[in-house]
Amino acid sequence: AKAIGNTYNLLESRGFDNAMKGVHSILLGHNRYATQGRVSVRNAHPFEFPNVVGAHNGTVQMSSLSKFHGYVDYDVDSKIIYSHLSHLGAGGIDAVWEAADGALALTWWDKQDKTLKMIRNKERPLHVAYSQDDTQIFWASEAWMFWVAANRHGIKLKDYIELVPNRLYTFTFTAEGKVQHIERDLPPFVAKPIFVGQNNW
């Protein structure tokens, strides 16, 4: 379910009503100003591809994505990143993290292994909190956002954690309905010198 303009354009849409029907494991939403590409419903977050559905907070230099799957097809950095993640599968985040130059806070549902994944660099914050019974997690760029939402609905949360930069968090769900996660560190992005001629780098 996507819309542009005022948030109520989404909340009042038929697509939103349809998306909210039934039982879901994950509700992933995103609200932001456009920073690259044409402003359109098609370019709105989250982005869905065969293997992933994701949203990205931040802006990445398009030139750093020039070798990514989808680079010639899309004019939005985030869409190119998720196209590449979907195309590469399980190891895709390592390739993205090595090449993408810019601010990154990525969240995505991996359709292949049915996990929720999150990673950020030092340019963008990302926070997570578990419900008191460990059956739900909430996340937002700023912690106060999910505290307000939880309080409005009477949901009690444990203390939040701020995700460590350059660390991949993979959230899974046990047979008992509990949320758990594992962590894996990735090397931080290092800009590579580019020779532009006349002894200039």
**What pLDDT shows up at residue 104?**
95
Distances from the Cα of 2 to the Cα of 129, 132, 176, angstroms:
26, 31, 32
**What pLDDT shows up at residue 49?**
93
**What pLDDT shows up at residue 24?**
59
**Sole residue written with tokens 């991949």:** 168
CB 97 within 8 A of CB 57: no
Residue 48: left (phi > 0), alpha (psi -120 to 50), or beta?
beta
**What pLDDT shows up at residue 201?**
59
**What pLDDT shows up at residue 39?**
63
Q: Please report how many Cα atoms fall inside a 13 Å half-sphere around the Cα of residue 59, on the Cβ side.
A: 6
Q: With CA atoms as reference, report the closest residue to 173 among 163, 165, 164, 182.
A: 182
**Please, what are the averages of pLDDT over each run of 10 residues along the chain (201 residues)?**
70 71 64 62 77 92 93 92 93 94 95 94 95 91 89 90 97 91 95 67 59
Measure the CA–CA gap between 177 and 188, rounded to whole angstroms.
33
**What pLDDT shows up at residue 196?**
59
**What pLDDT shows up at residue 191?**
82
* DSSP-assigned beta bridge partners for residue 55: 107
